[in-house]
Chains A and B, each alone.
Chain A
Amino acid sequence: MSSIIITINGKDHSLDVDPQMPLLWAIRDVVGLKGTKYGCGVAQCGACTVHLNGEAVRSCVTKVSRAAGQKVVTIEGLSKNNDHPVQRAWQEIDVPQCGYCHSGQIMSAAVLLRDNPNPTDADIDAGMAGNICRCGSYLRVRKAIHLAAGMERKVSSRNE
């Protein structure tokens, strides 16, 4: 088995794994980053969301071969000091209940805000509909995304 190189959170990892292995397995069990969660294994819940070249893919159905030579960012790599606006807003609103779904929620929210820095409730619903929360934290998720959008707006107006 030849090794597969994937850049995860800015660092190259050479993985001796089956190319058919789900990326989630490689991230958790081979690389040892446990922040990304396993919920359903069939792309239905969003708990396993990571960024592959900037898109919020579901790592449970993404094969390692698709990520070969590509850039992956997990919740551990979203920011240096857990200070991405989405992470700060999540802390401020105290969004998580059990917390299991939230690394996926945050990774999806980060893509949403990158693509739409000023989302409406409808935009948030459209962008976050694939992330399921069994604790029902949806209203806090929405509130935190608005807060994060406001934080980013403040930063960009200060920089202008």
Chain B
Amino acid sequence: MNPRSPHTSPRWLNQKTMAMLSVGLFVTTVVTSAFTEERTPTTRPFTLVPATAPVGRDSMASVKAFANVYKVLMSPRCMNCHPAGDIPLQGDDSHRHAMAPRRGIDGKGVYAMKCTNCHQPTNTPGLHTPPGNPDWHLPPATARMVFQGRTPNQLARQLVDPKQNGGKNMAQLLEHAHDGLVVAGWTPGEGRTLPPLSHAEFTKAWTTWIKTGAFAPKP
């Protein structure tokens, strides 16, 4: 049969349209899920899944995966650059960074105290010397993306809120697990412990959390 026959074309269009609609519906439900609780803070997340939820949306699996995500994000390798104040943290005990470098507007430091003045493109050899990455920085002042002190519920909601996550949509959030500076947390340089899960395990938990609906655990 001629593949361009009038019979195949509409069917293909239909399938494409359906696929786009379901992807759109999925993304919309995922994006809204983290706000749902904000509007009804006393409601348990497990009651929020509509009966017609698209395949893959699963609040139990999502909350379970987030427990692993949270463990990693609150480890010093991630949290030290997501401080509550404007000075990064340092070391396995997350003490305030020596010499108190400031975030600056763009997250790259101020004046003679810019991150990359000390943090080189690669780790500096030696115990407790500055770890390196070409893109070393804190979140910018406009989206501080604080992890320090956040409960699992607060952090989950914050992560999927474009107003608080640097304008990331779900696809960009999924991709963020592979960001160079995120991955650098697993090669932190001598004298620093690794995050509690491997990067592969973290990526799996992160992806599962998002793809099953990005549910926030109970407050």
Asked whether A44 is an interface residue with its Cβ less than 8 Å from the other chain, the reply is yes
In contact, A111 and B120 (Cβ under 8 angstroms): no
Asked whether A55 is an interface residue with its Cβ less than 8 Å from the other chain, the reply is yes
Asked whether B98 is an interface residue with its Cβ less than 8 Å from the other chain, the reply is yes
In contact, B120 and A66 (Cβ under 8 angstroms): yes
| Residues of B92-124 whose CB lies within 8 A of A | 98-102, 110-114, 116-118, 120-121, 124
| Residues of A83-133 whose CB lies within 8 A of B | 107-109, 111-112, 115-116, 123, 126-131
| Residues of A46-88 whose CB lies within 8 A of B | 49, 55-58, 61-63, 66
Q: Which of A107, A109, A127 contacts B113 (CB 8 A)?
A: A127
In contact, A43 and B100 (Cβ under 8 angstroms): no
A55-B116 contact in complex given A42-B129, A43-B130, C-beta closer than 8 Å: yes
A130-B129 contact in complex given A61-B118, A63-B120, A66-B121, C-beta closer than 8 Å: no
In contact, A126 and B110 (Cβ under 8 angstroms): yes
CB neighbours (8 Å) of A127 from chain B are 110-113
In contact, B99 and A61 (Cβ under 8 angstroms): no
Chain B residue nearest to A128 (CB atoms) is: B112
Q: Distance (Å) between the CB of B112 and the closest chain A CB?
A: 4
Interface of A is mostly: mixed
Bound form: Cα–Cα A78–B116 in Å: 21
Q: Distance (Å) between the CB of A102 and the closest chain B CB?
A: 14
A42-B116 contact in complex given A112-B111, A126-B111, C-beta closer than 8 Å: no
> Interface size of B by Cβ–Cβ distance < 8 Å?
20
Chain A residue nearest to B102 (CB atoms) is: A126
Chain B residue nearest to A61 (CB atoms) is: B124
Asked whether B126 is an interface residue with its Cβ less than 8 Å from the other chain, the reply is yes
Bound form: Cα–Cα A78–B30 in Å: 56
In contact, A126 and B113 (Cβ under 8 angstroms): yes
Bound form: Cα–Cα A66–B119 in Å: 12
Bound form: Cα–Cα A154–B124 in Å: 43
Bound form: Cα–Cα A63–B116 in Å: 13
Bound form: Cα–Cα A46–B100 in Å: 14
In contact, B101 and A57 (Cβ under 8 angstroms): no
Q: Which of A56, A61, A126, A129 contacts B130 (CB 8 A)?
A: A61
Q: Distance (Å) between the CB of A127 and the closest chain B CB?
A: 3
| Residues of B61-117 whose CB lies within 8 A of A | 98-102, 110-114, 116-117
CB neighbours (8 Å) of A44 from chain B are 98-99
In contact, B99 and A129 (Cβ under 8 angstroms): yes
CB neighbours (8 Å) of B130 from chain A are 42-43, 61
Bound form: Cα–Cα A31–B15 in Å: 69
Q: Which of B98, B100, B101, B117 contacts A58 (CB 8 A)?
A: B117
In contact, A129 and B113 (Cβ under 8 angstroms): yes
CB neighbours (8 Å) of A63 from chain B are 120
In contact, A111 and B129 (Cβ under 8 angstroms): no
CB neighbours (8 Å) of B124 from chain A are 42-43, 61
B interface with A by C-beta (< 8 Å)? 98-102, 110-114, 116-118, 120-121, 124, 126, 128-130
Closest 9 CB pairs of A and B: A127-B111, A108-B112, A56-B112, A43-B118, A112-B111, A111-B112, A130-B99, A129-B99, A57-B117
6 residue pairs of the A-B complex, CB under 8 angstroms, read A55-B114, A61-B118, A108-B111, A126-B100, A129-B99, A129-B100
